[in-house]
Amino acid sequence: MLGKHTTKLLAGLIVIFLFSGCGPRESSESGAVQEHQTWAEKLGFPSDKRVIIFHADDMGMCDEANEGTIFLMENNLIQSAAAMAPCPAYEDAIKWAIDNPEADIGIHLTLTNEWSTHNWGPVADPDEVPGLVNPDGNMWRSVQEVVMNATPEEVEKELRAQIEKTLAMGYRPDHMDTHMGTLYASNDFTEIYLRLAEEYRIPAMVIDFSDPEVVDGFKKSGYPVSERLIELIENYSMPKLDYFSSVPKGNTYEELRENFFEQIRSLKPGLTEIIFHPQVESEYGKTITGSWQQRAWEVELFADPVVKQFFKDEGLLFTNWREIMERFDS
């Protein structure tokens, strides 16, 4: 396991790593981009195109999250989503996915329970994963607490339980990713995450570190990119992202939308996943998280005619993990 000092550094930075943008390539002083084949190119997309996955996290967390995500998916406004197996509304989310087989729905592997009023525990027997359970019987609130208390063996047991629960319901996830970035907060956890992705052949959300400029960019920004992490990702044989970010915040809906437009304009060609957390507004939803307004605006954002026209004007291409795997396998 990691020392406490390193653990705190990783846990403190990992959320920034996963929820802030960091470009896939930096331009040289002359303005030219160094030669590097993106994953978009490897998968057969045009080399000059920005290929986007708009991805909804936290499906299954509550009814409000399901409702917001399903609205966007049913109206073809986003490309992908992932649901949280330990959470109260997970079964409803998976039933919808089974009834809508064209939808790209993954599993949002979950080791934390960050809310104070809306709780869940592990899928595995709590007695078999005691390091994942806090004194209240729920999962830990923070990534740091998971890294400091859970063993890799407990993490693997819980991740398998979440995947097997989903398969037992009759649904095979289209991809997997990590709630709150927890599986990137420890190299041991990352190794398990990538190994399970290959074992089950369910593609994981992974950023390509083969370009030294990408690695240097993260390191210069203070992100915990270890040599072992680089090696783990290099040895991972399934598709990877060139770029990863999240929908930016705003004090008003109009400010959020303009910040989002600036984010899209700044993207370089390649395969990008941008995550967000849609949740319809409700009185109960307001008791779960203080970010309920941002989450409600994110539902509005992707349904906004101005936004849809902006996507057309920018010439974006869209994909999802199912298409990525079809292109990869062919």
CATH number at residue 301: 3.20.20.370
Looking at the structure of the chain, the number of domains it has is 1
Domain membership flag for residue 230: yes
| The token pair that represents 264 in the structure block | 């899209």
Q: Are strands 50-59 and 80-83 parallel, antiparallel or unpaired?
A: parallel
pLDDT digits (tens, 9 = 90+) for 27-71: 333 344 446 799 999 999 999 999 999 999 999 999 999 999 999
Domain membership flag for residue 31: no
Domain membership flag for residue 27: no
The pLDDT, as a whole number, for residue 99 is 98
The pLDDT, as a whole number, for residue 115 is 95
Residue 239 has φ and ψ, to the nearest 5°, of -60, 155
Domain membership flag for residue 28: no
Domain membership flag for residue 294: yes
Domain membership flag for residue 195: yes
Q: Are strands 80-83 and 270-276 parallel, antiparallel or unpaired?
A: unpaired
Domain membership flag for residue 223: yes
Count CB atoms within 10 A of the CB of residue 42.
15
Please give the DSSP secondary-structure letter assigned to residue 247: P
Domain membership flag for residue 100: yes
Calculate the CA dihedral of residues 174, 176, 179, 181 and round it to 10 degrees: -140
- Are 252 and 272 a contacting pair, CB within 8 Å? no
Domain enclosing residue 310, as ranges: 4-21+36-329
Model-level pTM? 0.89
The pLDDT, as a whole number, for residue 213 is 76
pLDDT digits (tens, 9 = 90+) for 62-102: 999 999 999 999 999 999 999 999 999 999 999 999 999 99
Kindly report the CA angle at 78 between 119 and 158, in degrees rounded to 5? 35
Please give the DSSP secondary-structure letter assigned to residue 116: S
* 76: region left, alpha or beta (phi > 0 left; psi from -120 to 50 alpha): left
The number of helices, as runs of H, and strands, as runs of E, in the chain is 14, 7
Give the pLDDT of the chain (330 residues) as one tens digit per residue.
444 444 444 444 444 444 444 444 433 333 444 467 999 999 999 999 999 999 999 999 999 999 999 999 999 999 999 999 999 999 999 999 999 999 999 999 999 999 999 999 999 999 999 999 999 999 999 999 999 999 999 999 999 999 999 999 999 999 999 999 999 999 999 999 999 999 999 999 999 988 787 778 777 766 678 999 999 999 999 999 999 999 999 999 999 999 999 999 999 999 999 999 999 999 999 999 999 999 999 999 999 999 999 999 999 999 999 999 999 999
How far out from the chain centre does Cα 88 lie? 20
CA distance 259 to 77: 19
The pLDDT, as a whole number, for residue 20 is 43
The pLDDT, as a whole number, for residue 21 is 43
